Structure 1
C-alpha cells in the first residue's frame, strides 16, 4: 500500500497494487500487445490527477515497457522527444548512486523505497517487483514529487521546536523569577520573625505582622504560579507514597487552624469508613488540592463552618475509591458564574478582588491537579447558603507502613558530636546575616562564608558536622562546591561525611532531585525560618537541644513590651554592641523591605 500526498494538503489517496487495481501479468500483456484496458485507463487518470506523479514498468535490462506521467520531463531530466535510452536515462547522473542500489534490491524480489533531493526539490521513489506469466521479473517504479509535503513537514517540525523552546524558556524564566523573588523574601520573612521577638509597641508589632503576612501571601502566589507552570508544560509528576486520609486531614487542620480561628469559624473533618486505609498515592498533591479548597472556603465564609469529608464510594481487595468534599456556609456562587471560577486569574466578580485576597489560581490548580490524579473537580453552590466542592479518586491499597513523604529519600544517620560546628554559606549579605542571627541564638559554633571559594578555604574533612550551602553563587555554585568537598573527603579517608544542606530558591522538582543526586543530603527551600533551620540541625545531627527551652533560655527581652520607637537596646544586645553589625542589620532590613514593598505593589 502506498500513500500519496496531494499538493501538500491533508487529503490523501491510497493506491493499491492488487489484482483488482493492477494485474501485473495482464498489464504487461496488454502493454506488449498495445491493447488498452481499464487498469491502464485508471492509472492514466491517476497520473494526471496527482501532481508530480510518474510511473514506470521496467524489465531487468532497464527497458521501459510502460510509462505514465511527465515529472521527469517537467524537471528537465529527460527529453521525451528523444529516443528512449533506458530507465536510467530519465534521471540526472547525481541520482545514479541512489537508484542503482534500489534497482538491485528490487530485482531480487524485495520491494524498496527511498527519498532524495535535487535542486531544492524532494522526491520519493518506490519499486515493486513481480513476475509475469513467463516468469520474467519486472518492476513497477513510482516516482512522486513530495516537495510541498516536505515543506509542510519542516514547518511543522520548526513549529514544534519553537513551542518546545518557548516552554523551556518559560520554565527557565519561572525558575529564575522564583529565585529572584524568594531570595529577598527569605530575608524579609526571616528578619520580620526576628523583629517580632524584640520589644515593640502594639502599633510596631501590627506593622511587623502586616509585613510578615504580606510576604507569606506573596510566597503562596509564587508557589501557585510554579505549580501552574508545571501543569501547563506537562511536567507535573505524581510522587506516590503510602499515606492515610486521617493523617492528611490532621495536617490540613494544623495548617489552617490559625486562619479559621481568627475568623471565628468552626472547622470539622471526618471519614465515613471505620478503618483508615493505608493508601498509595500522592498525598502532597491531594493535600494541596484540599488546602486550596479549604482556604477558599475560609476566605468566602463570614460565619458558620467548614466541613472536610471523605466518603468511601467502593472498594475491592486492591483498591479503594474515595470521594472528598469541602463544604462551607459562605457567600455561594451563582449558577452562571460556576464555570468562570476554574479559569486562571479569575474570581467570580471583579469587585471581589477588592474584598478578598488572591490571584485566582487556587481553583485552576486544584482542578488540574485532580485531573492529573484521575478525577474531576465539581461544585454545587447556592448563593447565600454555601458551596460544596467534591472529587473522587481511586487509590491502590498499600501494605507498606505510612512514613513521611519525601521528594527523594534523604540520607539519614545520627551524629552526636561533643561540639556541634556548622558552616553557613550564602553570597547574599542579608541572608548571610540572617543565618548569623539564627545560629547565634542557638549558641552553635559556626563559620560564615560569602562565596564558594571562601567556603572551600574554610572546609577541612571532619571540621564541620553540617554545611548550609547556597546553590546559586557567582564564583562557584553550590554544586561545584559540593563536588570538591566530596573529593576532599574521599581523598582524606574521612569516614563521616559532612551533611550538606542545599539552600535554594528553586522550587522545581527536577532541580531539587538533581541537587540530591549531586551529593547533597537535604534541601532547605527559601525562604527559611528559625524553625526550619532548627529542624534540619536536629534531624541530621541528633543534637538533643530543645528549641523551646534553648531559645527561651537565651531570650534577652520579653515579647511585645511597649517601648519607644527609638529604643534599640534589644537590637544592641543581639549584636553585642557592635555598631557596624547593628547598622548593617538595620540597613539591610530596610533596603529589602522597600524592595519587597515595590514587588508587592
Structure 2
C-alpha cells in the first residue's frame, strides 16, 4: 500500500503528458492543414498566372510568325526556289497551329476573327505569289514570242539581199578649149561634176589627151552611169518592224495590266496584314490587361488568405502557448515530485548497493576467517590421525568430517556470493568427460559403500570415440554439478542404487552432454518440485532438521547450468525416487588439458642460522610466505608492516639485516633510509640494507650501500641476496618449472613441501586477493588513484611469488597511474576489469589445486 500513491502520481503524470502530447499533435495537424491550404491557394494562383502568361506568349509568337511568313514569301518571290517556298509553307502551318491553340485557351470570339483575318492574309499572299510568278513567266514568254514572230516572218518573206541595176551612157563631143588654168574655178557644180566624172572615166579607160599648147580642140567622150535600187526588201522590213512593234505594244499592255493587278493585290495584302496585326495587337493588349487584372485579383485573394491563415496560426499558437504553460506547470510539478522520489530511490539504491557490498564483503571475510582455521584444523587432524589409533583416531576422523562439511558449506556460500556479484567465471580448456566421471565415481565410492548402496554408471557415446572426443569448457564446474547431484541423491537414498547416466551427442560445431542422476530415495512431492531449485529451499523443514544442509546445492547447480547456456530439470515420485537431469553445450577441443599436474621442484637452503633480520613491508602475506623459510634457515626475524614501527624497532634492538619495502603508508622507505643515514648515534648504523621493490629503476640518493631484491622474487633470489649481504656463499639454486599462467614452486619451496602449510598459503592468498580487489573497485568508484596504486603495489608483490606475468604486467600499469596523469578514468577501469578477469581464472585454478591437496 505504501507504493500506491507513488504509482497513482506516476499514472497521473503519464496521463498529463499523454494529454499534452495529444493536444500538441492536434494543434500541429491543424496548423499544417491551414498552412497547406494557404500555400495551395497561392500555388494555384501562381499556376493560373503562369497559364495566362502562356496565352500572352502564344499571341506574341503568332505576331512574330506573321512577320516570318511575310519574310519567307518575299524571299521566295525574289528567288523562286523550292526550299524558300517550303519554309514559307512550314511557317504558315506553325502559325495556324498556334492560332488554334490560342483559340482553345481563350475560347473568345476575338480569336475567331484572328483566324478569319489570317485566312484572308494567307489568301492574299498566295495570290501575290501567283501574280509574281505569272509576271515572271509573261515577260519571258513575250520576248520569246517576239523572237519567234521575227523568225517566222523572215522565213516566210524569203528576203534576199537588196541589189542595184547600173546603166552606162556614152556621149562623145568635141570642143575647143583654151589653155587657161583659172577657168575651172568659175565653173558651176554641174560642170565641175561632169569634169570629174570625165576625168574619172579617162583615168579608168586609160585614155590621155594632149594638153600641149593652148586653144587646142579636144574630143571628149562622156560616159554616165545610172544606178537603179531594188525597193522590195525595204518594204518587207518595214512590215516586219511594224508587226514587232505591235507585239511589243501588246506585251507592254499585258505587263502594265499585270503590274496594276499586282499592285492592287499587294495593297490588299498589306491591308489584310495590317488588319491582322492590329487585331492580334488588340488581342494582345486585351489579354495583357485581363492578365494584369486577374493577377491583381488573385494576388489580393492570396494575400487575404495568407493574412487569414497567419491570424489563425497566431490564435492557435497563443492558445497552444497558454495550454502548454498550464500543462507545463502540472508536468513540472509532477516531475519535481518524481525527482524527489527518484532521489529517494537513488538513495535507497546506494544504500542497497552498500548493503550488498557489505554482504559480499562479509561473506568474503567470513569465508576467509572460517577457511583459514579450518585449514589448520583439518591439516593438524590429518597429521594426528596418522599417529593416533583406536578411540582417539575415531574422534579425529569425526573432527575431519565435520570440518570438511563446514568447508563445503562455506564453499557453497562463497559460490552463491560470486554468482550474485557476477564474478563467477568459467574456464575454457580442453577436457575428457570420461576422466571427470571417473574422478566423481572414485570420490563417492566410499560413501556409497558405507550406506550399502549400489553406484552405477553408464556412458553412451553415440558412435563417438571416447579417446578422441574432447570438450572445450570448464571441467571443474561440470564436476561440481555431478558432485552436487550425487551428494543430493546420496543424502536422501537409504537403499537401492544411485545411477549416473551420461550421453554425448555431436552437433555441427559443438557437443552436448546430457547427464541424468537417478536414485531410489524418498522422492519429492509434485507441489514442491517447482521450488526445489530456489535459494535456501528444501522440500520440507523436517528434511532440513533430519538431514541438515543449507539448501544451496541445487540452487547453485541451476545457476551454473544456466550460465553455461544449458538447462536443468527433475522428475520425482514420492517413495520411489528422483531423476535430476541437465544438458549443457560444449565446443569441440583438439586435446585434453585437464587435469593439470604441477611439477614440484625446489632447491636446498643455505645456512643463515643466528642472523637477526627485520622485515618492513605492508604486505600482509609477507609473514606467511617468509616465516617458514626463516624458521627453516634458523634466522631470528621480526616482521612489521610500517616504516614507523620499523624505525622504533631499529632504535630499540640490534639487527644484522633490514629488508625494506620503499612504498609504504605513513612513512615511505625513502624517508626511513634518510633517517638511518642521517643519525650518527643510531644503534643500527651499519645495518645491511636490502631494498625490496617492484620498480627496477629505483635509486637511493643517500650515500648508503644496499642490495636490490626486485619484486616478485623467488626463494633462490632471496637466498642469494641474503648471502651476499652477510658475505657468505649460499647453495646453488636450481630453477623451478612454471606453468603458463602461474607456478606454485615458490609457495611449495616456502612451505618446505608441507601440504598443510601450502594449503594455508593458497587459502590466505585467495582471501587476501579477493579483499584487495574489492578495495580496488571501491577506490575506482571514489576516483582515488593513490589508493589504487598502493593496492596494485601490494598485489604485485603477492602475484610475484606466483610468477603470474600477465597479472604483474597489468598491476605495473595500475601501480604507475599516479605518475601517468594522461590515463583516463575509463582506461583505469578497463585495466581493472582485465585484471579481475585474469585473477578470477587464477583463483579458480588455485581452488582446483586445493581440492587436489585434499
TM-score past 0.5 threshold:
yes
Q: CA deviation at 1:272?
A: 0.9
User: Is 1:417 equivalent to 2:579 in the alignment?
Assistant: no
Equivalent runs, 1:337-376 vs 2, <5 Å: 337-376=528-567
- Write the distance in 2 (CA, Å) between the matches of 1:196 and 1:36: 98
3-state SS, counterpart of residue 404 of structure 1: coil
TM-score normalised by length of structure 2: 0.40
Q: Specify the alignment match of 1:91 in structure 2.
A: none
State whether residues 333 and 387 of structure 1, in contact with CA within 8 Å, keep that contact through their aligned partners in structure 2.
Answer: yes
The structure carrying a bigger strand percent of its residues is 1
Equivalent runs, 1:322-401 vs 2, <5 Å: 322-401=513-592
Moved more, 151-160 or 512-521: 512-521
Q: Specify the alignment match of 2:347 in structure 1.
A: 158
Relative to structure 1, the CA distance from residue 241 to residue 155 in structure 2 (aligned partners, 3 Å threshold; closer, same or farther) is farther
Q: Specify the alignment match of 2:188 in structure 1.
A: none
State whether residues 8 and 148 of structure 1, in contact with CA within 8 Å, keep that contact through their aligned partners in structure 2.
Answer: no
Q: Specify the alignment match of 2:801 in structure 1.
A: 520
Q: Structure 2 unaligned segments of length 5 or more: list them.
A: 1-9, 39-305, 647-654, 660-666, 669-690, 696-707, 719-744, 748-760, 774-794, 804-838
- Write the distance in 2 (CA, Å) between the matches of 1:458 and 1:345: 57
Q: Specify the alignment match of 1:490 in structure 2.
A: 710
Relative to structure 1, the CA distance from residue 39 to residue 497 in structure 2 (aligned partners, 3 Å threshold; closer, same or farther) is farther
Q: CA deviation at 1:495?
A: 11
- Write the distance in 1 (CA, Å) between the matches of 2:656 and 2:556: 45
- Write the distance in 2 (CA, Å) between the matches of 1:493 and 1:347: 50
Q: CA deviation at 1:369?
A: 1.4
Q: Deviation per CA, 1:496-534, whole angstroms, max 9, x where unpaired?
A: 556543443475697299657742318999xx99x9699
Q: Specify the alignment match of 1:275 in structure 2.
A: 465
Q: Specify the alignment match of 1:26 in structure 2.
A: 35
Relative to structure 1, the CA distance from residue 272 to residue 30 in structure 2 (aligned partners, 3 Å threshold; closer, same or farther) is farther
3-state SS, counterpart of residue 570 of structure 2: strand
Q: Deviation per CA, 1:214-243, whole angstroms, max 9, x where unpaired?
A: 111111111111111222233322222222
Q: Specify the alignment match of 1:570 in structure 2.
A: none
Equivalent of 1:168 in 357, 360, 364 = 357
Q: Specify the alignment match of 2:496 in structure 1.
A: 304
The structure carrying a bigger helix percent of its residues is 2
Q: CA deviation at 1:279?
A: 1.4
TM-score normalised by length of structure 1: 0.56
User: Is 1:206 equivalent to 2:394 in the alignment?
Assistant: yes
- Write the distance in 1 (CA, Å) between the matches of 2:852 and 2:658: 24
Q: Specify the alignment match of 1:257 in structure 2.
A: 445
- Write the distance in 1 (CA, Å) between the matches of 2:405 and 2:565: 30
3-state SS, counterpart of residue 309 of structure 1: strand
3-state SS, counterpart of residue 35 of structure 1: helix
- Write the distance in 1 (CA, Å) between the matches of 2:589 and 2:772: 25
Relative to structure 1, the CA distance from residue 304 to residue 512 in structure 2 (aligned partners, 3 Å threshold; closer, same or farther) is farther
Q: Specify the alignment match of 2:337 in structure 1.
A: 148
Q: Specify the alignment match of 1:511 in structure 2.
A: 770
State whether residues 6 and 51 of structure 1, in contact with CA within 8 Å, keep that contact through their aligned partners in structure 2.
Answer: no
- Write the distance in 1 (CA, Å) between the matches of 2:498 and 2:656: 53
State whether residues 51 and 145 of structure 1, in contact with CA within 8 Å, keep that contact through their aligned partners in structure 2.
Answer: no
- Write the distance in 2 (CA, Å) between the matches of 1:510 and 1:500: 17
- Write the distance in 2 (CA, Å) between the matches of 1:507 and 1:252: 25
3-state SS, counterpart of residue 710 of structure 2: helix
State whether residues 515 and 582 of structure 2, in contact with CA within 8 Å, keep that contact through their aligned partners in structure 1.
Answer: yes
- Write the distance in 1 (CA, Å) between the matches of 2:453 and 2:334: 74
Q: CA deviation at 1:49?
A: 5.9
3-state SS, counterpart of residue 229 of structure 1: helix
- Write the distance in 2 (CA, Å) between the matches of 1:152 and 1:305: 59
With CA pairs under 8 Å and 6+ residues apart, which has the higher RCO, 1 or 2? 1
3-state SS, counterpart of residue 238 of structure 1: coil
- Write the distance in 2 (CA, Å) between the matches of 1:377 and 1:243: 22
- Write the distance in 1 (CA, Å) between the matches of 2:387 and 2:430: 43
Equivalent of 1:188 in 363, 377, 382 = 377
Measured on the aligned residues, the alpha-carbon RMSD in Å equals: 5.1
Q: Structure 1 unaligned segments of length 5 or more: list them.
A: 54-70, 72-122, 124-143, 407-411, 462-474, 477-482, 537-601
Relative to structure 1, the CA distance from residue 145 to residue 458 in structure 2 (aligned partners, 3 Å threshold; closer, same or farther) is farther
User: Is 1:321 equivalent to 2:512 in the alignment?
Assistant: yes
3-state SS, counterpart of residue 168 of structure 1: helix
- Aligned length, in residue pairs: 407
Larger radius of gyration: 2
Q: Specify the alignment match of 1:242 in structure 2.
A: 430
Q: CA deviation at 1:258?
A: 2.3
